[in-house]
A and B are shown apart, each in its own frame.
Chain A
Amino acid sequence: MKSWKWMQALALSLLVVMLVTACGKSGESVEGSAVTITFLNSKGEIQSQLEEAAKAFKEDNPDITMEIIPVPAGQSPFEKASALYASGNPATITMLDTGDVEKFKDRVLDLSGEKWMADAVDRSTALTTFEGKNYAFPLAIEGYGFIYNKAVVDQAIGGTFDPATINTTGALEELFKKIEASGKAPLIVSPMDWSLGAHYLPLAYAGQSADTAAVAQFVDDLKAGKVDLAGNTVFNGLLDTFDLMAKYNIDKASPLSGTYERGPEVLGKGEVGIWFQGNWAWPQISSFDTASGQYGFLPVPVSNNADDFGNTQISSAVSKRLVLDKEKNTAEQQAAAKKFLEWMVYSDKGQDFLVNKANIIPAFKNITLEAKDPLAKSISDYIAKGKSQDSMSTLPADHWAKVGASMQKYLAGAADRSVLTKEIQEYWKSVK
């Protein structure tokens, strides 16, 4: 009997030990110099291109394997990244939206000393620099506005279309009418909350002034509840344009039933002339392209005075940033990640990936490759001519969802302009 008791005690202690060790982190021994890093990708449309880039990078650096983890559709990069941090398993490289970088600054590497800092375009790291230290790699400049299908608009106006002629709301309506008269639908409004809430409506904030400090002041005033949006000319001008869009929308009968995937299809096939979206949509448009790659951007006009700010400027900014984790990744992994960043900026294969494969507008002066993608090229042209407006990239994190829902309600006709204005003002007051 005595031995039986010993057996019990032994089995019990064994179980406890097993359970406790199972919870401990199993030591990650890195054999030789081979290192595996992970990349959290929040730009779903370049997932396969990134996987190819990881292969190309491995050819140049056989020791480094990079795994690309996608952020699931519908989840924000912040949600996924913070979940990974909470589980103690952050990616080596995390792709964040500009406004999120600050939240992670205690957990990510200071990149101020990196070689590419000298080649980054002006102001591209300003929003991720805190107390003089830059924490993020500017990955992509993105811009948005009305994308036009040149074949459709050329046919509608009966000649060669000059995008510079569309510089007022009135001119835009003329164009819509001409497209309609040519037997096509003028435009498609994709009703996603992120498109309306993060891209369309913020034009009203960015369009307040050409001076970025004045725009920042405007946002602060909104938070303080000091702005009367109902009497704001830019805001009303933008919504007047939105009313036009809703009026000429191909999906007017059921404006909220559209999906993102429908936009590139109808634009590429030439069923509509115009789509409100950004240059990231090129891969999808190109798979339906019937206009032999002839597309370009029109700014969203906010008034009938061609000289007003915003009527000839395209909205653009560095939208995606890469940060490197310093908490859970080893020094070797961090070094490998830094190498990848440099590889993108300075190697031929890396530049080819950015510009040609992923259709990204790089934020580095040393990259002189000309974009093959007409949308990126159009944005680059506007920027080169100085016709650009800084997109709002540090709005509160839930702005797109909350204001996007209000915009959807307005688009569907379930709320009028006064309700929309009130909801937006209420939203800003609730921001902490």
Chain B
Amino acid sequence: MITEKGLWNRLRLRLLFTGPTLFAFLAVMIVPFLYGIYLTFTNWDGISTASSLVGFQNYVSVFQDTVFWQSFLLTLKYVFITVVLINVVAFLLAYALTSGLKGQSLFRAGFFIPNLVGGIVLGFVWQFIFSNVFVYLGKEMSIPLFSASWLADPDKAFWAMIIVTVWQYAGYMMVIYVAGLMNVPKDILEAASIDGASLPTKMRKMVLPLMVPSFIVCIFLSLQRGFMVYDLNISLTKGGPFKSTEMVSMHVYEKAFLSRDYGVGQAEAFVLFLLVAIITIAQVYFSKKMEVEA
């Protein structure tokens, strides 16, 4: 096909195959994105038929909105803890489930299942567990840690969110790690064993470096999901008690739709997009440098 002459001839064929996807992508991602940026310069309230341009006023409000920055810091803390825990748990699970355990495919399926349940449903299920099941058990067996609902205490509610997040995503990341572990060439591991390398040495010098691509993907995915968490936040804690677990996405949503400050909400969403984009691009860029070839 490269032999085809002329720009149009080449373009036409490409459009035939990529056109539909490109069109869908433009229509549902790029156009709304650009329109959203336009809205940040207006004072639209979400419903009125008229609005006027206000320049950069909404962006000024974003930097004055201390609650936004507080919830961003809280989200950073949440992301940091969940990324570490999800990946550690997922890697350990993957390692255990590739070591030839009996019934390991069954276990793999089992750990993966939480990921198939939507965040909202999962949040409600865990809300019931935290505020009813645990409290019941705590009272019956007099365990002080569980005698009051975790969701009524700011710190415990935060940890409740982390536990549920890790439980939800560890299985998904585990699948990626399993694939990564299976792709580590057996021959070099065998050669290393013959040369007398111990298990920790093989792990540190061979398995981990060869797994870097899997780590990049998993850390990227867990970073991005952590920053964008909303469904779990709304269904598990509703941002409570008293707004202490309100993550940044939820704050943006409430700003736009509850406080009816659509322009400011949209501007906050855009600032959030830039921050998250910078963080994730930096992560991918720097970790790419760690990749090695077998």
Q: Residues of A with Cβ closer than 8 Å to B? A: 8-9, 11-12, 15-16, 19, 23, 74, 76, 78-79, 81-83, 85-86, 103-104, 106-107, 193, 253-257, 259, 397-398, 401, 405-406, 408-409, 412, 414, 432
Nearest B residue to A107 via CB reads B49
Partner of A256, one of B47, B135, B152: B152
Residues of A within 8 A of B23 (CB): 16, 19
Measured in the bound complex, the distance between the Cα atoms of B13 and A11 in whole Å is: 10
Chain B 237-277, CB-CB to A under 8 Å as 1, else 0, gives 01011110000000000100111110000000000000000
Residue numbers in B under 8 Å from A83 (CB-CB): 257
Interface of A is mostly: helix
A405: B residues at CB distance < 8 A: 240, 242-243
Residues of B within 8 A of A74 (CB): 234, 238
Q: Which residues of A contact B45 (CB under 8 A)?
A: 103
A79 to B258, CA, bound (A): 7
Chain A residues with CB below 8 A from B238, complex form: 74
B2 within 8 A of A: no
Q: Does B131 contact A (CB under 8 A)?
A: yes
What residues of chain B lie closer than 8 Å to A397, measured between beta carbons?
258-260
**Smallest Cβ distance from A299 to chain B, in angstroms?**
27
Are B19 and A16 in contact, with the CB atoms below 8 A?
yes
In the complex, residue of chain A having the shortest beta-carbon distance to the beta carbon of B20? A15
Given contacts A11-B16, A106-B48, A397-B258, contact A257 B151 (CB under 8 A): yes
Instruction: Write the B131-166 contact mask toward A (1 if CB under 8 angstroms, else 0).
Output: 100010000000000001101101000000000000
* Partner-A contacts on B (CB < 8 A): 12-13, 15-16, 19-20, 23-24, 27, 45-49, 131, 135, 148-149, 151-152, 154, 234, 238, 240-243, 254, 257-261
B131 A257 Cβ-Cβ under 8 A: yes
Select the residue from A9, A16, A82, A253 with max chain B CB neighbours within 10 A: A82
Contact A254 B48 (CB under 8 A): no
A82 with B257: CB separation less than 8 A: yes
Contacts of B48 in A (CB 8 A): 103, 106
Known contacts A12-B12, A82-B257; can you find 9 more A-B pairs with CB under 8 A? A8-B16, A12-B16, A12-B19, A15-B19, A103-B45, A256-B241, A257-B151, A398-B260, A405-B242
Q: List 22 A-B contacts (CB under 8 A).
A: A9-B12, A12-B16, A12-B19, A15-B16, A23-B27, A74-B234, A78-B257, A79-B257, A106-B49, A193-B242, A255-B152, A256-B149, A256-B242, A257-B131, A257-B148, A257-B149, A257-B151, A259-B131, A397-B258, A401-B254, A408-B241, A414-B154
Chain A contacts for B20, CB-based, 8 A:
15, 19
Instruction: Please measure, in the bound complex, the distance between the C-alpha atom of A19 and the C-alpha atom of B48, giving whole angstroms.
Output: 30
Task: From known contacts A193-B240, A412-B152, infer whether A104 and B19 are also in contact, taking CB-CB under 8 Å.
Answer: no
The 3 closest A-B pairs by CB, nearest first: A257-B149, A254-B148, A257-B152
B residues less than 8 Å from A16 (CB atoms):
19, 23
Q: Which residue of A lies closest to B257 (CB)?
A: A79
Most chain A CB atoms below 10 A, which of B13, B151, B152, B240: B152
Distance, CA A405 to CA B250, complexed state (A): 15
The answer to whether B46 and A82 touch across the interface, beta carbons within 8 angstroms, is: yes
Among B48, B131, B154, B242, the most chain A Cβ lie within 10 Å of the Cβ of B242
* B residues less than 8 Å from A81 (CB atoms): 47
- Chain B hits for A432, CB < 8 A: 261
User: What chain B residues lie within 8 Å of A85 (beta carbons)?
Assistant: 47
Among residues of B, the one whose C-beta sits closest to the C-beta of A409 is B242
A414 to B261, CA, bound (A): 29
Q: For the complex, what is the distance from the CA of A26 to the CA of B266, rounded to whole Å? A: 31
> Could you tell me if A412 and B148 are in contact, using CB atoms closer than 8 angstroms?
no
B253 to chain A: closest residue by CB: A79
**How far is it, in angstroms, between the C-alpha of A388 and the C-alpha of B149 when the chains are bound?**
38
- Interface pair B259/A82, CB less than 8 Å apart: no
